[in-house]
Amino acid sequence: MAKPGTKLIRAEEVIYLAGVTDGEGCFGYDSGSVRFTVTNTYRPMCERFQAAFGGQVRQLKGKNNEPGHRTQFSWRASGEEARAAMRELLPYLDEKAAQAKLLLLMWDLRKVPGSTNKLNAELKRLKRIDYGTDCAD
């Protein structure tokens, strides 16, 4: 398990990062490109994603300056970096697995005109599932 041109990533690290992704990650699709973001108040967490998959870490603006709000950081990868990270994490994802599979399909179809419109609608639906009511016993 290695990203081309980088060091090997231990299986335990990939599994851990998949768990963080399920809780803190966000996948998206815009203008023919996939993106993968993790936001957290602990900068070293974002830096672990950067070390494993590339991308960029930045400090977010907004509520950070308001009393009672902790500074937030975001790791973001897009395009090929995001796709490679999703592929590596996919076997260990739970809640975000369907989104990752859909985005990988969208990446493959991105050059076919109009092919991602319905898929993007399905991605939006998946992101809005309320597990408290939509999946009741």
Q: With beta carbons less than 8 A apart as the criterion, state whether 81 and 55 touch.
A: yes
Percentage with pLDDT > 90 across the chain = 57
In a domain, 1, yes or no: no
In a domain, 61, yes or no: yes
Asked if residue 135 has pLDDT above 90, the reply is no
More confident residue, 124 or 27: 27
One-letter amino acid for residue 66 of the chain: E
Asked if residue 7 has pLDDT above 60, the reply is no
In a domain, 80, yes or no: yes
Q: With beta carbons less than 8 A apart as the criterion, state whether 86 and 3 touch.
A: no
In a domain, 5, yes or no: no
In a domain, 133, yes or no: no
In a domain, 129, yes or no: no
More confident residue, 20 or 113: 20
Provide the b/e sequence for 5-37 (b: ≥16 CB within 10 Å).
eeeebeeeebeebbebbeebbebbbeeeebbbb
Instruction: Render pLDDT for 17-44 as a digit per residue (tens, 0 to 9).
Output: 999 999 999 999 888 889 999 999 999 9
Instruction: Render pLDDT for 49-81 as a digit per residue (tens, 0 to 9).
Output: 999 999 999 999 876 666 777 899 999 999 999
Mean pLDDT of all residues in 79-106: 95
In a domain, 2, yes or no: no
Please state, in angstroms and rounded to a whole number, the distance separating the CA atoms of residues 9 and 88: 10
The pLDDT value recorded for residue 4 is 46
**Domain residue limits at 112:** 11-124
Q: Look at the chain and report how many structural domains it folds into.
A: 1
In a domain, 131, yes or no: no
Beta-carbon-side half-sphere exposure of residue 118 (alpha carbons within 13 Å):
3
More confident residue, 126 or 75: 75
Taking the whole predicted model, whether its pTM rises above 0.95 is answered as no
Q: Residue 79 belongs to a domain with what CATH number?
A: 3.10.28.10
